[in-house]
Amino acid sequence: MKKIALKFLAAVALGNCAAAVAEDYPHKPIRLIVGFSAGGSADIGARTVAKKLGDSLRTSIVIDNRGGAGGSVAAQLVAAARPDGYTLLWGSVGALTITQILEKNLPYNTDTAFAPVGLALVFCNALIARQDSPVRSVAQLIAQAKDKPGSLNYGTQGIGSAGYLSGELLKSMTGASFAHVPYKGASEILTAVISGELQISFVSATAAGALRNRIQILAVTSLARDPSLPDVPSMHEAGVKNYDATFWYGLLAPAGTPPAIVNRLNRDLRQALVDPEIARPVQAQGLNPAPSSPQEYAARIKADYAKWKKIIAGN
């Protein structure tokens, strides 16, 4: 009986300690490490969310841009940081799943290095074709790719990029054949499609929307239609059932961060993401708020790792 009482008192003490930690947090500025250069959509999304989150937490969140290696430079810094809630990661599919698949000697393991706080923003690509192409739909595109293997090429920013994953998923799900052509950047890809050098490509929904008078937009890669292109069907609607190439940014802390702090961050992150002041500026960047629990975000990371590993391994 005495042992039971002691265990109960210990549990109460731990609970009170955790509550005190959460109540005291934060008492100084938070550093948010973003694995992308300043000015891009990932950075703008991070800054927009961080501003609202900081207001809710009643502290400032300082953005620290550490671009390089697909976001893994930033991830490495956070993985090695003190787990006190004052160094956070603006994580991406690239840094947390794709680099784990492609790189053999990463200094961190996504499964053990981080405490997921919550999913923040999701985005998709758009499948585009040159304006004078006889291909006017996804069904026609797949039919031509099967009838004349290798006759269609698509450009991306390289193996592991969102465009590459979108294209390889389409190949895997349909059996169609497309030739992959890597380019240095999105502007080069768009120029190549407009000039006819490329037949098709996967580009950001915002880039496609800005040039829709010079290209065809055949579909978006999310399971449902994207708010930025409401008149464009999803790949699923266009006939490739259950196709979903959706990508994300989310918030993570170093592994070992007290659950009370993780839960506090998640609560305020979710509140920030449902604020209309957040939705408007991020949707202008092709990003859509997608609040989740820490557990849901952790499950999403694992599921995407398994999904993309299978696709990459098959090519």
CATH code assigned at 184: 3.40.190.10
| Assigned domain for 241 exists | no
| Assigned domain for 235 exists | no
Task: Taking residues 223-238, report their average pLDDT.
Answer: 96
CATH code assigned at 74: 3.40.190.150
Higher pLDDT, 17 or 174: 174
In total, how many domains does the chain have?
2
Is residue 248 within 8 Å of 120, Cβ to Cβ? yes
Question: What pLDDT was estimated at residue 1?
Answer: 52
Hey, which of 35-44, 67-76, 151-160, 259-268 has the most confident mean pLDDT?
259-268
Verify that 115 and 259 share a domain, yes or no. yes
Select from 299, 314, 287, 307 the least CA-distant residue to 90: 287
Task: Taking residues 53-81, report their average pLDDT.
Answer: 94
**Domain boundaries, position 81:** 2-123+246-313
Whole-angstrom Cα distance, residue 276 to residue 58? 19
* Structure confidence by residue, pLDDT tens digits, 50-66: 999 999 999 999 999 99
Verify that 145 and 113 share a domain, yes or no. no
pLDDT at 299 over 80: yes
| Assigned domain for 48 exists | yes
Verify that 43 and 185 share a domain, yes or no. no
Angle at 223 between CA 221 and CA 228, to 5 degrees: 65
Verify that 94 and 131 share a domain, yes or no. no
| Assigned domain for 282 exists | yes
| Assigned domain for 233 exists | no
Q: What is the DSSP string of 238-270?
A: TT-TT---EEEEEEEEETT--HHHHHHHHHHHH
Verify that 132 and 212 share a domain, yes or no. yes
Distance from the Cα of residue 271 to its chain's centroid: 20
